[in-house]
């Protein structure tokens, strides 16, 4: 039987078998307000829940994790990719014009919208590996993997000169994202 994978906050991404987003970008994506609504699935429905660049936008990330856990089967995996609070560009002023905290989303008509830091920014938290570990452990997950990822979500290492420079001191400074995978007991 083919594994059933729920992609939460999928945008135009096609990884998964089922898709949820607050701003659906295509017809097979179910619209759900992740802050207020339950996922429209039965308990224990999925082998994996995958969420990329959503966690940092949640006002109540604990509720989100509990809802992911509810729809996961036993031994199911929760994969979260989110911003890394220790990333150097989030802290050094001369980089802010270059990157800042920004994100992209699709509106109701599928049009790409780019939002930079400022009054329209809807980031509510930046996490460290410890924060993410605590969220998952406190919800009863077993931690399978934690790693740092670069801007393209690859695991091949920092590529830009400044990223390479900061990676000499610490990976947590050089990588913009953290990936954590937990398993439901």
Pairing of strands 142-149, 103-106: unpaired
> What span, in angstroms and rounded, lies between the C-alpha atoms of 79 and 74?
15
> What span, in angstroms and rounded, lies between the C-alpha atoms of 88 and 111?
31
Q: Report the CATH number at residue 159.
A: 3.40.50.150
Q: How far is CA 77 from the centre of its chain?
A: 14
Q: At 11, is the pLDDT very low, low, confident or very high (cuts 50, 70, 90)? A: confident
Q: Would you state the pLDDT for residue 159?
A: 64
Domain count, the chain: 1
Q: What's the average model confidence in pLDDT over 154-159?
A: 58
Q: Which carries the bigger pLDDT value, residue 57 or residue 164?
A: 57
Does residue 98 have a pLDDT over 60? Answer: no
Give the model confidence (pLDDT) of 122-146 as tens digits.
Answer: 777 889 999 999 999 999 999 999 9
Largest separation between any pair of C-alpha atoms in the chain: 52
Long-range contacts of 160-168 (CB under 8 A, 24+ apart): 162/88, 162/89, 162/95, 166/88
- DSSP character string of 77-125: EEEEEEEBTT-GGGT-HHHHTT--S-EEEE-TTS-EEEE-SSTT-----
Pairing of strands 18-21, 5-8: parallel
Does residue 100 have a pLDDT over 60? Answer: no
- Please, what is the Cα angle at 132 between 129 and 133, to 5 degrees? 80
Give the model confidence (pLDDT) of 162-181 as tens digits.
Answer: 777 777 778 788 888 999 99
Predicted structure pTM score: 0.84
Range of the domain at 60: 5-183
| 141 neighbors 182 (Cβ within 8 angstroms) | yes
| Those residues with Cβ within 8 angstroms of residue 34's Cβ, 6 or more apart along the chain or in another chain | 8, 9, 20, 22, 54, 58, 64
């Amino acid at each position: 039987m083919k594994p059933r994978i729920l992609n939460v906050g999928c945008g135009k991404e096609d990884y998964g078998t089922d898709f949820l987003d607050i701003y659906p970008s295509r017809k097979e994506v179910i619209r759900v307000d992740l802050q207020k609504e339950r996922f429209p699935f039965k308990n224990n429905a999925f082998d994996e829940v995958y969420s990329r660049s959503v966690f940092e936008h949640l006002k109540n990330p604990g509720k989100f994790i509990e809802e992911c856990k509810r729809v996961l089967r036993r031994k199911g995996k929760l994969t979260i990719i989110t911003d890394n609070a220790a990333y150097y560009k989030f802290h050094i002023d001369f980089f802010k014009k270059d990157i800042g905290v920004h994100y992209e989303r699709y509106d109701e008509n599928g049009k790409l919208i780019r939002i930079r830091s400022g009054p329209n920014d809807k980031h509510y938290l930046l996490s460290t590996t410890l924060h993410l570990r605590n969220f998952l452990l406190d919800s009863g997950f077993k931690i399978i993997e934690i790693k740092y990822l670069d801007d393209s979500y690859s695991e091949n290492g920092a590529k830009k000169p400044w990223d390479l420079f900061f990676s000499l001191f610490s990976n947590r400074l050089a990588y913009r994202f953290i990936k954590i995978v937990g398993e439901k007991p």
